[in-house]
């Protein structure tokens, strides 16, 4: 390694630091409120231990939590903990959903924020501005530290320009960037840093075994598993590190067994913290806190995890395909690393893909794979080494990397400031907003179950029109609220559905036809949560059973106390059916919805003899 090569690596690392820090300064989440703040959603669950212990002295009954939910709204429901029996005094007893590890990692930043809040004008309640700033910037620093540790490992095996480029691509060209800036309170960059430390300490131990290195190794693995239990897989790194030389490795293990025992004891001692908490809070040593959520190891969602439009890893982080391409080059360049990296990637991906909620909520890309980028950095660097030795590949690589980094940066911005929808992307919506900055609320219907008609279709026949003025079921109508006339269909703010409007199958409706089913909708108060939004549903039925369904959420465009038209499109499938049924459905919203001037129109290509009018 030449001094100039190492300096170039540090310059690329510094560039990465500048971009990440500047992005966090320009678009800080801690200036936002409620579920957009750093301590929100899952992060509020990881974090809740700290105010419970250090501020409220209430780790079991969580009497302070309703007040926090009411004031700061870190989530739409108090799902950070769940009731688990009663205390001796007859009060409900609560158990945290998430394990205690992230709270330990947050602890130094929490204590600093608590001191600032006590000395300043902010409420020292655990959720005011100083705490929000501390958690976001704590994650930023953890991510940058993890990149530094990764760079140190890479510099031991690759030239400086290769090591620096690898760190830059991971830091700026993957979804690490999102979780190292906007969403830095989440687990992933913290776990990235712990895995980077595990790799570095493992390499140090195999070079020169020592009790100090073993203790640090056990500390990293224990904290990772305590933060996210599946990260116990980090133990595969030291176990497999010497697989290429099994005899030498076994001799090293025999001669250094006290060091191995210390690492295992340290990992176990940290894991004991969780068991002690469960015993204190629930009266049991082990509690499965994820309850109805779990793994399906025999049915992993590999295709969805890698390639789906909803959360496909290589769809939203395409530059990591270069890491997969790099495995054969890593085999040629460094066989000691090839085995541990390949086995870890395979096992870890199997676990990630086996989680029943394989899309991992409102995440940008496949967030559960971010920490594994530490090990994937080695085949990525091996690919770069190969490409740099070939002029043609090298000059092709630069525009690919430049576009990949730009795309990642732009889509990360879209996810927080633009039209991107992190929780439920579809192919149609992805391409509708590709490289766009403006938001069109009508585009968001493409996130629902609506077909996308080809261009050039125009109305031909009106198959159904209902203004509800003479509708037979008056119990489902509301008088005095209407788009036209005096009545509208009314969906109350309780779970359930309205009566259906049915259109029998006619000869003029056949497979392949396009239908536009539209209506005008009104809500006195807008529902913002997509999961709860009332739905405009169209079913195709056969003998009373639904055989095909489409739906949209009108509140994607309807605001407070206004009428808006919304339409879904249906391409009639080959499926046999006897009628088309239309109704409103309320899954769980506490907001009502009105519907008026319902219309079903058949669409045909422009210029067709049956064309009557325009869209």
Enumerate domains of the chain plus CATH numbers: 3-417 (no CATH), 451-605 (2.60.120.260)
Integer Cα distance of 166 and 181 in angstroms: 19
Taking Cα atoms as reference points, which of 334, 365, 10 lies closest to residue 168? Answer: 10
Asked whether the beta carbons of 336 and 156 are under 8 A apart, the reply is no
Encoded tokens for 411: 């889509």
Integer Cα distance of 195 and 348 in angstroms: 13
Other C-beta atoms closer than 10 Å to the C-beta of 536 total: 29
DSSP 8-state class, residue 495: S
Sign of the alpha-carbon dihedral angle for 246, 250, 252, 256:
positive
For 159-198, how does the pLDDT look when each residue is reduced to its tens digit (9 = 90+)?
Answer: 999 999 999 999 999 999 999 999 999 999 999 999 999 9
Integer Cα distance of 587 and 531 in angstroms: 8
Asked whether the beta carbons of 533 and 548 are under 8 A apart, the reply is no
Amino acid 609: pLDDT: 59
Amino acid 612: pLDDT: 43
For 317-365, how does the pLDDT look when each residue is reduced to its tens digit (9 = 90+)?
Answer: 999 999 999 999 999 999 999 999 999 999 999 999 999 999 998 889 9
Taking Cα atoms as reference points, which of 188, 144, 231, 158 lies closest to residue 377? Answer: 158
Integer Cα distance of 277 and 286 in angstroms: 9
DSSP 8-state class, residue 566: E
Taking Cα atoms as reference points, which of 539, 543, 611, 610 lies closest to residue 573? Answer: 539
List own/partner pairs for 238-244 with CB under 8 A and 24 or more apart.
238/198, 238/202, 238/205, 238/263, 240/339, 240/340, 240/343, 240/344, 241/202, 241/203, 241/206, 241/336, 241/340, 242/206, 242/336, 243/339, 243/340, 244/335, 244/336, 244/338, 244/339
Amino acid 614: pLDDT: 39
Taking CA atoms, 321 is separated from 178, 317, 404, 546, in Å, by 18, 8, 11, 41
Amino acid 608: pLDDT: 63
Q: Which residues of the chain fall short of a pLDDT of 70?
A: 1-3, 607-615
Q: What is the chain's percent helix, strand, coil content, to nearest 5?
A: 50, 15, 35
Amino acid 77: pLDDT: 82
Q: What's the whole-model pTM score? A: 0.94
List, in order, residues 6 or more apart from 385 with CB less than 8 Å away: 158, 159, 162, 329, 333
Amino acid 5: pLDDT: 84
Angle CA(463)–CA(464)–CA(467) in degrees, nearest 5?
155
Encoded tokens for 589: 């919203």
List, in order, residues 6 or more apart from 558 with CB less than 8 Å away: 521, 522, 523, 526, 564, 566, 593
Give buried/exposed letters for 136-166 (b at 16+ CB in 10 A, else e). bbbbbebbbbbbbbbbbbbbebbbbbbbbbb
Integer Cα distance of 212 and 431 in angstroms: 53
Q: Is 90 helix (H, G, I), strand (E, B) or coil?
A: coil
With tokens 């630069």, the residue in question is 398
Taking CA atoms, 165 is separated from 158, 181, 200, 367, in Å, by 11, 20, 19, 22
Amino acid 3: pLDDT: 59
With tokens 């633009």, the residue in question is 418
Give the distance, in angstroms, between the CA of residue 415 and the centroid of all CA atoms in the same chain: 11
């Amino acid at each position: 390694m030449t001094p100039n090569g190492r300096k170039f690596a540090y310059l690329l690392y510094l560039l990465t630091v500048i971009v990440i820090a500047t992005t966090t300064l320009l678009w800080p989440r801690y200036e936002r409120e409620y579920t957009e703040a750093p301590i929100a959603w899952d992060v509020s669950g990881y974090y809740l231990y700290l105010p419970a212990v250090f501020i409220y002295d209430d780790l079991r009954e969580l009497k302070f939590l309703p007040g926090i939910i009411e004031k700061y709204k870190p989530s739409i429901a108090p799902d950070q903990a769940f009731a688990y029996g009663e205390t001796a005094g007859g009060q409900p007893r609560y158990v945290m959903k998430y394990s205690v590890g992230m709270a330990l990692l947050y602890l130094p930043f929490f204590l600093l924020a608590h001191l600032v809040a006590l000395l300043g004008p902010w409420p020292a309640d655990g959720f005011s501005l100083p705490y929000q700033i501390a958690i976001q910037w704590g994650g930023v620093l953890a991510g940058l530290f993890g990149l530094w540790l990764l760079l140190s490992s890479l510099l031991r095996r690759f030239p400086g320009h290769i090591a620096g480029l690898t760190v830059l691509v991971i830091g700026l060209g993957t979804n690490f960037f999102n979780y190292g800036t906007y969403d830095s309170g989440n687990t992933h960059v913290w776990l990235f840093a712990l895995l980077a430390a595990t790799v570095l300490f493992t390499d140090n131990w195999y070079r020169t075994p020592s009790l100090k290195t073993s203790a640090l190794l056990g500390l990293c693995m224990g904290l990772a598993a305590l933060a996210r239990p599946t990260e116990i897989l980090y133990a595969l790194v030291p176990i497999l590190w010497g697989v290429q030389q099994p005899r030498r490795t076994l001799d090293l293990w025999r001669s250094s067994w006290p060091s191995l025992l210390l690492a295992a004891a340290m990992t176990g001692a940290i894991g004991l913290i969780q068991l002690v908490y469960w015993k204190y809070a629930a009266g049991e040593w082990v509690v499965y806190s994820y309850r109805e959520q779990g793994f399906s190891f025999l049915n992993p969602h590999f295709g969805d995890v890698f390639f789906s439009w909803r959360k496909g890893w290589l769809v939203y982080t395409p530059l990591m395909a270069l890491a997969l391409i790099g495995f054969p080059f890593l085999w040629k360049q460094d066989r000691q690393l090839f085995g541990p990296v390949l086995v870890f990637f395979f096992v870890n991906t199997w676990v990630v893909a086996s989680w029943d909620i394989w899309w991992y909520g409102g995440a940008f890309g496949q967030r559960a794979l971010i920490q594994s980028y530490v090990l994937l950095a080695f085949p990525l660097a091996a690919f770069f080494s190969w490409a740099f030795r070939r002029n043609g590949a090298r000059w092709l690589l630069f525009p690919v990397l430049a576009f990949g980094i730009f795309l990642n940066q732009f889509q990360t911005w879209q996810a927080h400031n633009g039209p991107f929808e992190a929780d439920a992307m579809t192919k149609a919506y992805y391409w509708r907003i590709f490289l766009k900055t403006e938001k069109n609320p009508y585009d968001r219907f493409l996130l629902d179950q609506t077909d996308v008609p080809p261009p050039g279709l125009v109305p031909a026949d009106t198959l159904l029109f209902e203004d509800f003025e003479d509708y037979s079921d008056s119990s489902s109508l509301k008088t005095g609220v209407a788009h036209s006339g005096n009545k509208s269909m009314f969906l109350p703010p309780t779970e359930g559905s309205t009566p259906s409007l049915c259109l029998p199958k006619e000869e003029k409706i056949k497979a392949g036809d396009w239908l536009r089913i539209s209506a005008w909708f009104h809500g006195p108060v807008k529902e913002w949560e997509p999961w709860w939004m009332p739905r405009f549903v169209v079913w195709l039925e056969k003998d009373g059973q639904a055989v095909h369904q489409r739906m949209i959420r009108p509140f994607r465009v309807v605001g407070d106390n206004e009428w808006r038209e919304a339409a879904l499109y249906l391409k009639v499938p080959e499926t046999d059916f006897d009628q088309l049924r239309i109704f409103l459905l309320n899954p769980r919203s506490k907001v009502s919805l009105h519907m008026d001037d319902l219309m079903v129109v058949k669409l045909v290509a422009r210029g067709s003899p049956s064309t009557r009018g325009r869209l």
